[in-house]
Copies of this chain bind each other. A is one copy, B any other.
Amino acid sequence: MTFAAPLTGVVPPVCTPLTEEREVDVPSLLRLVEHLVEGGVHGLFVLGSTSEAAYLTDRQRRQVVEAVVGYVGGQLPVLAGAIDMATARVLEHVAAVTAAGAQAVVVTAPFYARAAHPAEIARHYRRVAAGSPVPVLAYDIPVSVPARLPAALVLQLAAEGVLAGLKDSSGDLGGFREVVTGLRAHPETAAFSVLTGSELITDAALAVGADGAVPGLANVDPHGYVRLYRLARAGDWDGARAEQERLCALFAITRAGDPARMGAGSSALGAFKTALHLRGIIDCPATADPQIPLSHEETQQIARLLAAAELL
């Protein structure tokens, strides 16, 4: 199943606010969605990596999709991650998130499972697409899933109608371009959506031909990414670059966590939530276990960076 038209614009991977007890904080989640919608975003991606999907139980995942789909009520497309290790488990998530109203699903190659051969990845997507009532986007995120998605494989599955889009969080703009330009040889893929997951080279990805962007930092500053997107669409590349550089400076919040105490993930997801908390959008900056919480001093560092960006 494919889209009628490509998804375009800014589609933030929505953070999942938690309570101190690590339960989904639905009121905070809805305030965050409201903040994003008011920021002008063009769609929402729930249950992705930035949403801590890997940390949420099935019940919590369902809560998130139901709350967000219910809130936006069709105003905006809602994509949902169906993040799991292999085909049968992914299909269960596909069923759950589409029952809750997701309009598309985002699916990685198998992980943990040793099924990283191109033939195994192709079989995985063919089976998932056959069992999905909504379009399937492939999700290339080597920081979490070692099996990469070669451009040739993505193009083949796009031509077959198995894949409706790609969310590329690989940082490899050369490979991204290969998909973008390769699609032109396949007119039947006109509605295929090529989305970049990068926060730092969104302008470059749009210049190369991305349809849209899924930047985690857009949780904190949706207006910035929407401006960037509009400048790029208007062909104002100097303006887009200036906006992008401002956002890159803001991205320094993700490095506030001391690497002696925690990994890059705790630091980055902690920073997004801390920023949202400092901005008054969510009630609690807690991240899911076993991530390490940011300290008071690290929180102050984030506050300073937000103030410098006039977001506080």
Contacts and interface: CB of A to CB of B under 8 A. Distances in A.
Interface of A: 22, 49, 52, 54-58, 60, 83, 85-89, 92, 110-117, 119-124, 127, 143-146, 171-174, 177-178, 181, 198-201, 203-204, 207-208, 235, 237-238, 241, 245, 248-249, 260-266, 268, 288-292
Contacts of A110: 54, 290
A289 B174 contact: no
A114 B204 contact: no
A263 B115 contact: yes
A113 B174 contact: no
26 contacts: A52-B113, A54-B113, A56-B89, A57-B89, A58-B58, A88-B288, A112-B112, A114-B143, A114-B263, A115-B263, A116-B263, A119-B292, A120-B263, A120-B266, A120-B291, A120-B292, A121-B290, A122-B290, A124-B289, A124-B290, A146-B146, A171-B172, A177-B245, A178-B248, A181-B249, A237-B237
A112 B54 contact: yes
A103 to B, nearest CB: 24
Contact of A290 (B87, B145, B200): B87
Residue of A115, A122, A207, A208 with most chain B CB atoms under a 10 A cut-off: A115
A297 B266 CA distance: 33
Residue of A114, A178, A245, A288 with most chain B CB atoms under a 10 A cut-off: A114
B22 A88 contact: yes
B88 A266 contact: no
